[in-house]
Structure 1
């Protein structure tokens, strides 16, 4: 009989900071809280805020990445992306952008033009997903996951649905391909509804309450913008929505390799960081217009 996965901590969002002029984020890890979430290296959470209308495209200008993947999940607002591999796209509420920087890429991300002109609510999550050493210098790729095409599991009795970004929920396989085992879902529950989430004991596991309020494992309470971090005990998580709620669920098998990080580079050894800086400075990440 599966046992409940123990709650290690319920974490409030750390103080926010700006990334560029378009993203006001709470960094839950690695700087906000020193928690083990390998293969997830970083989680920036843009809690819901209002942006005023503007003709200026707020965002982050051209910058490099190497050695990992960026995953951007949209809840409110719209974000446009361009990169030096020729990929571009816009994500709207419910969509996900999964960019594998791997051997090196330049990209820029900013508020989509029509959203910028009208303004309104904005809410996003961005994750850095580490790559194992053997894949860090693989070819960059880009996965655009439109919500309308995303794998979904309808919960019984009209309780809500689970959008399976990657992994598998009750036989429904997620849309994104990954380099290591990862479970990532948006769980959308109506008030009073329940859902069970599975995560092996050794997986690093957390959930964020994007909207609403929930009870976890019948005893712990979590509300909007809080993160629930789980211990390496048990394999099942029970959640119940106290009101209409949206929960982002993250679980992954740890890579357990050394990490060397400098700015936008995430490698295994310091000398690999030096090589990344040299390659960037000599134009080996390609070209992207500001």
Structure 2
């Protein structure tokens, strides 16, 4: 058992460093203006932007790979999973299996890319009479070798269904935890996809979003000595762990074999915790593909060039749903979920 609860710290940038079984985490927070008739950005905001590759924060937002509607146009993935947690705003999903949907305001999309698929993540500005702020995390979770040949699969973890823990501390400050994956304080998450590393509870995969009121306290339990556990303090002032003050915008690597007591300071704080047993397989990532060897990466690019992972059935590479579509998921088998 390690004696130190804090094993390392690192300042947060645009792309957050992770550890096996996670690959990367990206945090998007964009203050988009009112939408035009196409649910896009008024052209007056687009002058001087490097459209198609706009990652510079201007006027409070970025366009990413979008030209009118911000977001990420059709692109391929293979060999890992994306867990997209939308705190505010909406995302339109279309993919090469024929599935599509719109989700947001607390919803989570769990996408297993497996043997390969194309998809979009567009950020429609659905409101024409008020701003369209967007806040989301995209977490890349690796697949073990056997999962990299799995059939692509996606499911929605709707906001209303995600388990929530509310805990009062002695002084009255409350902590609220959304359990996206894993088991915490007797609450168990919704079921992950079938090929996911998170499917086996012995892998201890946890994804927890924590909001702490001023002076609130929360404890992460002991799990295992081999667990990789990282806390991302992305908004607030200060928290205290093991007697050490931690400023916001820091990643804190924590011991997995000890209880970790977190005490908030005088301002509301927001944290993301990612933890899990490592897969302990070679990782070779090139662009949108994550495999176990360079030979497999080369084969993945060849396969995509030859098959386009089933092609693209949507006519355009940046499709969006109708403005009044609401939150829904239409799966490749025709099944429709509405919220």
TM-score range, shorter chain: 0.7 to 0.9
Alpha-carbon distance change, 115 to 238 in structure 1, aligned in 2, over 3 angstroms: farther
Contact 2:234 2:249 in 1 (8 A): yes
* Partner residue, 1:138: 150
Alignment check: 8 A CA contact 1:89 1:144 kept: no
Q: Is the 8 A contact 1:5 1:234 kept in 2?
A: no
Q: Secondary structure at the match of 1:280?
A: helix
1:273 has 2:297 as partner: yes
Q: Is the 8 A contact 1:4 1:234 kept in 2?
A: no
Find 2:163's aligned residue among 145, 151, 170.
151
Alignment of 1:48-67 (within 5 A): 48-54=29-35, 55=40, 56-67=68-79
Measured in 2, the distance between the counterparts of 1:117 and 1:90 equals 20
Q: 2 CA distance for matches of 1:174 and 1:251?
A: 14
Corresponding residue of 1:23: none
Task: Please state if 1:10 is matched with 2:9.
Answer: yes
**Kept in 2: contact 1:76–1:124 (CA 8 A):** yes
- Flag the 1:287–1:119 CA change in 2: closer, same or farther, 3 A: farther
Relative to structure 1, the CA distance from residue 281 to residue 229 in structure 2 (aligned partners, 3 Å threshold; closer, same or farther) is same
Q: Secondary structure at the match of 2:310?
A: coil
Mapped contact 1:3–1:236 kept (Cα < 8 A): no
Alignment partner of 1:179 is 2:197: yes
Residue 22 of structure 2 is matched in structure 1 by: 40
Unaligned runs of 5+ in 1: 15-25, 30-35
CA contact (8 A) 1:195 1:239 kept: yes
1:169 aligns with 2:184: yes
Helix, strand or coil for the counterpart of 2:309?
coil
Q: Which residue of 2 aligns with 1:127?
A: 139
Between the aligned partners of 1:189 and 1:4, the Cα distance in structure 2 is: 26
Q: 1:285 to 1:227 in 2, by over 3 A?
A: same
Alignment of 1:1-290 (within 5 A): 6-14=5-13, 26-29=14-17, 37-46=19-28, 48-54=29-35, 55=40, 56-114=68-126, 118-156=130-168, 159-177=174-192, 178-180=196-198, 181=203, 182-198=205-221, 199-230=223-254, 232=255, 234-242=257-265, 243-288=267-312, 289=314, 290=317
Q: TM-score, normalised to structure 2's length? A: 0.73
Provide the rounded CA distance (Å) in 2 between the counterparts of 1:191 and 1:53.
Answer: 33
Please state how far the C-alpha of 1:223 moved relative to its aligned partner: 3.9
Cα distance in 2 between the residues matched to 1:209 and 1:170: 21
Determine which structure has more spread, i.e. the larger CA radius of gyration: 2
Q: Identify if the C-alpha distance between structure 1 residues 133 and 115 changes in structure 2 by more than 3 Å, giving closer, same or farther.
A: farther
The question of whether the paired residues in 1 share the 8 Å contact of 2:83 and 2:138 is answered with: yes
Q: Provide closer, same or farther for how the CA distance between residues 82 and 224 of structure 1 changes in structure 2, counting only shifts above 3 A.
A: farther
Cα 1:79–1:4 shift into 2, 3 Å: farther
Q: Equivalents in 1 of 2:106, 2:213: separation in Å? A: 17
TM-score in terms of structure 1 length: 0.84
* 1:197 Cα deviation from its structure 2 partner: 0.9
